[in-house]
Amino acid sequence: MGRQYDIPTIMTTCLGIALTILYFVLPAALHFTMMVFVAISWFLVAICWLALKSTQYMHRYEGHEHEEGKKKLTSHSSSQTLQMTSNQISQAKSELNAELDSLRSSLKNKDEEIESLKSEISSLNTLVEIEKLKVDLANLKTLAAKENSKKKK
């Protein structure tokens, strides 16, 4: 691992040392201000040092063989993910259709919205589209609940 990750730690340490020395050199009137600056600079040193150690820990076992194994694992798991998502999409389509059917009875004047959502459900391809339709269904349910509460009053 290169030394480029050490530079921020070294620079903030030099700043902390310089400010600590200035604390003792400058007049007493500036001690409070310098104490704040010194505390902040040593806090930055601690943060930089922790970031350096974290980077070193994360890249400790990195190597060429690991990358090849990781690529093989990734290519294998992506095909499995595609199979899972197609099953999830078909399951979500059936759930969304069932929710639309239940909403149809409570929202009589919103049939065109329900029909447009039905057509969108039949053309779903991604989980993002499913989440968008779930939000639309939640909005329709909220509207149905508001209309039901108005009818009760």
Model pLDDT for residues 10-49, shown as the tens digit of each residue: 999 999 999 999 999 999 999 999 999 999 999 999 999 9
The verdict on residue 16 lying in a domain is: yes
Q: Which of 20, 19, 3, 15 has its CA nearest to residue 44?
A: 15
The verdict on residue 70 lying in a domain is: no
The verdict on residue 74 lying in a domain is: no
Q: CA-CA distance, 64 to 52, in Å (whole number)?
A: 22
Q: pLDDT (tens digit, 9 = 90+) per residue, 65-97?
A: 555 555 555 555 555 555 557 777 778 777 877
Our count of domains for the chain comes to 2
Does residue 92 share a domain with residue 33? Answer: no
Does residue 90 share a domain with residue 54? Answer: no
Does residue 49 share a domain with residue 11? Answer: yes
Q: Using a pLDDT cut of 90, give the percent of the chain over it.
A: 26
Indicate the length of the chain as a whole number. 153
Does residue 48 share a domain with residue 91? Answer: no
The verdict on residue 122 lying in a domain is: yes
Exposed (0-12), middle (13-18) or buried (19+): which is 134, by Cβ within 10 Å? Answer: middle
Final residue belonging to a domain, choices 58, 73, 95: 58
Structure tokens belonging to residue 104: 């149809």
pTM value is: 0.39
Our CA angle for 75, 81, 82, nearest 5°, is 95
Q: Which residues form the domain of 106?
A: 83-152
pLDDT score of 149 more than 90: no
Structure tokens belonging to residue 53: 């150690």
The verdict on residue 96 lying in a domain is: yes
Q: CA-CA distance, 47 to 59, in Å (whole number)?
A: 18
